[in-house]
Amino acid sequence: MSLPHDQGNQVATGTLPHSALIAPRLSLSSCVRAYLTRSTLGANLRPDQRNNYFPASPLCGITWVLQGEAQLIRRGNEWVSEPVPTVSFAGPHTVPVVHANPGPVQAFMLALMPQALRAMAGVNIACHVNRIVPISSVLDASWQAMAGAVLGASDDAARVQVIEAFLEPRWRAVRQTALPRTDRYRYWVEGLALQAASSGIGKSLRQMERRIKQKAGLPLRELRSLARAEESFLNTRTNAASGARNYQLNWATLAADGGFADQSHLCRETRRMSGLSPNELKKAIQEDESFWAYRIWS
């Protein structure tokens, strides 16, 4: 995955792009991971700066393209050309993806824990791994009505209000069967394994794996890999917070802290999750506008 780093990340005159991460209300924190908002309206960007890089993730999501257009152009190592619906559903992804906007765009995203979505909407998560489809092909009329109301909301605060008024009673009804609040994928994954191992009649490894995949759509090994990747990404970003371009990170220490076998293991997993080596990813986050999602994630 080649990146135009030599062109820098300077944005021409005009409004600066806006990206933000919004936390959910506390009562929904084990259901909603976060909201992401992105606007390039009025910004004078080069075509490559209108790309959007997203890592592999165990989360499910709903995306609203409020203004402009979006197209999926890369899935892992595969180049594709797939229009992104105005309101789309994305399942967990085991590979990174790249979206492109041909012009200015305003978008809003809801990131959901997969086991929460399954509990509330009965979605078979495993059927939607590495897929981005219209919301109407996955969720029922009540979810579609909520999505329509979000499209008509006046601003991000109103969009969050619509979503949370919809989710709150549904989550309250089922949350006792799902997992408690988690702050990192790692703890969510281990909690999921513990719950699967201690529930039901059978306690065999195969039965545990089956229950985990039913809840999250991915096998335990893949979930643990994603958890390690997120933890190491957050540690990398924290240690490089000075923003110094030539700051040298101790990758061996980060690998050990993140639960990787060694530095090579960290490098392989980072490339699998993001498409880049750790050093390339660090540089992209610091310099490339199209890596905005990595910069705001927490």
Which tokens hold the place of 255? Answer: 């690998």
| Burial of residue 167, with CB atoms counted within 10 A of its CB: 0-12 exposed, 13-18 middle, 19 or more buried | buried
What average pLDDT does the chain have?
A: 79
Task: Mean pLDDT check: name the lowest of 67-71, 97-101, 226-230, 277-281.
Answer: 226-230
For residues 62 and 271, the model is more confident at 62
Which tokens hold the place of 292? Answer: 């905005």
Residue-level pLDDT at 264: 72
| Burial of residue 261, with CB atoms counted within 10 A of its CB: 0-12 exposed, 13-18 middle, 19 or more buried | exposed
Q: Decide if pLDDT at 7 tops 70.
A: no
Residue-level pLDDT at 8: 39
Q: If you ran DSSP here, which 8-state letter would residue 24 be given?
A: P
Q: Decide if pLDDT at 71 tops 50.
A: yes
pTM, two decimal places = 0.74
> Cα 204 from chain centroid?
31
What amino acid is encoded at 34 in this protein?
A: A
In the chain, the domains with their CATH numbers are 5-177 (2.60.120.10)
Express each pLDDT in 147-188 by its tens digit. 999 999 999 999 999 999 999 999 999 987 765 444 445 545
Question: Are residues 281 and 235 in contact, defined by beta-carbon separation less than 8 angstroms?
Answer: no
Residue-level pLDDT at 268: 73
